[in-house]
Amino acid sequence: MNRKLILTLIILTLVGGNVFGQILKYRVGVNYGKFNDEVGKDEVDHPLIENLSNPNATEFVHAFEPGFEAEIMQLWSPNIETGIELDFSKFSGSNDIPPYYNYILAQDFPEIVHRVTEPIVYESSALNLILNFRYYFAPDGSVNPFFKAFGGLSFVGAEYNYEDLSVWEEVWDEEGAGVLYAIGTEDSDQPKEAAVCYGFGAGLDFALNEQISLYLDGTASFIGTDKLDGIPNYDYVLESQSLKAVGNRAFVTQITLGIVFTSKTDLGLNKNSGKNKKGSGVKGTGRTTPWRPFYRQKR
């Protein structure tokens, strides 16, 4: 999906909601994200990788990490809602017994192979600008379940290193701590990588009153980068004895807890917002619009 198209849709949704809509919702929350795997083609390994690897090597253990998010939402009907979300997510993982030889790439010399025997860890983050779409399939009570789909842009930074940074001096005889791989962090000259993200999920909106509700959702998403686990993917090209980048996608899951404040706002940009029209449910009629949250439960 084109990045410019995504940004255009986000801007149109935000502007359109302010101009035509009256019911705005504001959400803040904490999230817990976890990197699970990568989706895409398998890498072409060096032909001697099995001979140069530790047969007792273990896989990475990925952990949930806390982040935060904020969203402005527009209610279009009792069932349909859109929103613009700014989301900061963190990810981490560790491996106590890594392969004897890891084909992990240095920042400036991708041909260099790092010999790693000590425990290794990665820490990464994604700053996401997201367009959300929610469908409330039973918006009649105080508990309102929904499905959601979303898409947007992620700006990813990651760092991959020894768990014990003293290894740099003890093993490599280097002064100070180095880094095995980094992008978009203080230890890297490279900026954060921009990538398309998209996904789906489900959740609940639990109304405490007309203006305040509790929010819970769970999502699964794909981020178009192979660096979220701190390990970029490369094919080994036997003919030229070189490495070629492989563009896989990261698969992540996330749980979000938050609170939502609902306000009925008229910015004066809708010319019909103040007119008294029979059955319009707008300003001047003395009636409550059916699109007002929780209207049905008060009937």
pLDDT in tens, 148-186: 999 999 999 999 988 988 887 776 666 656 788 899 998
The whole-number average pLDDT for the span 248-252 is 95
* Bigger pLDDT: 109 vs 134: 134
HSE, side-chain direction, 13 A CA sphere, residue 93: 23
Whether 50 has a pLDDT exceeding 80, the answer reads no
* Bigger pLDDT: 121 vs 232: 121
- Confidence at residue 216, expressed as pLDDT on a 0 to 100 scale: 97
* Bigger pLDDT: 120 vs 19: 120
pLDDT in tens, 215-231: 999 999 999 999 999 88
Q: How far apart are CA 18 and CA 264, in angstroms?
A: 11
Is 299 a member of any domain?
no
Model-level pTM? 0.78
241 pLDDT band, cuts 50/70/90, is confident
Domain containing 200 — which CATH number? 2.40.160.20
Whether 101 has a pLDDT exceeding 60, the answer reads no
pLDDT in tens, 2-45: 555 555 555 555 554 444 456 899 999 999 999 999 998 888 88
- Confidence at residue 84, expressed as pLDDT on a 0 to 100 scale: 96
- Confidence at residue 172, expressed as pLDDT on a 0 to 100 scale: 62
Whether 282 has a pLDDT exceeding 60, the answer reads no
- Confidence at residue 199, expressed as pLDDT on a 0 to 100 scale: 97
- Confidence at residue 267, expressed as pLDDT on a 0 to 100 scale: 44
Sign of CA dihedral 124, 126, 256, 220: negative
Give the total number of structural domains in the chain: 1
Is 280 a member of any domain?
no
- Confidence at residue 130, expressed as pLDDT on a 0 to 100 scale: 97
- Confidence at residue 90, expressed as pLDDT on a 0 to 100 scale: 97
- Confidence at residue 299, expressed as pLDDT on a 0 to 100 scale: 42
- Confidence at residue 96, expressed as pLDDT on a 0 to 100 scale: 92
Range among 10-19, 242-251, 281-290 with highest mean pLDDT value: 242-251
Is 295 a member of any domain?
no
Average pLDDT, the chain: 80
* Bigger pLDDT: 145 vs 247: 145
Q: Which of 34-38, 48-52, 174-178, 198-202 is predicted with the least confidence, judged by mean pLDDT? A: 174-178
Is 284 a member of any domain?
no
- Confidence at residue 285, expressed as pLDDT on a 0 to 100 scale: 41
Is 189 a member of any domain?
yes
- Confidence at residue 275, expressed as pLDDT on a 0 to 100 scale: 44
Is 240 a member of any domain?
yes
- Confidence at residue 5, expressed as pLDDT on a 0 to 100 scale: 57
Is 11 a member of any domain?
yes
3-state class (DSSP) for residue 30: strand
- Confidence at residue 131, expressed as pLDDT on a 0 to 100 scale: 96
* Bigger pLDDT: 36 vs 276: 36
Is 49 a member of any domain?
yes
Range of the domain at 225: 3-271
Q: What percentage of the chain reaches a pLDDT higher than 70?
A: 72
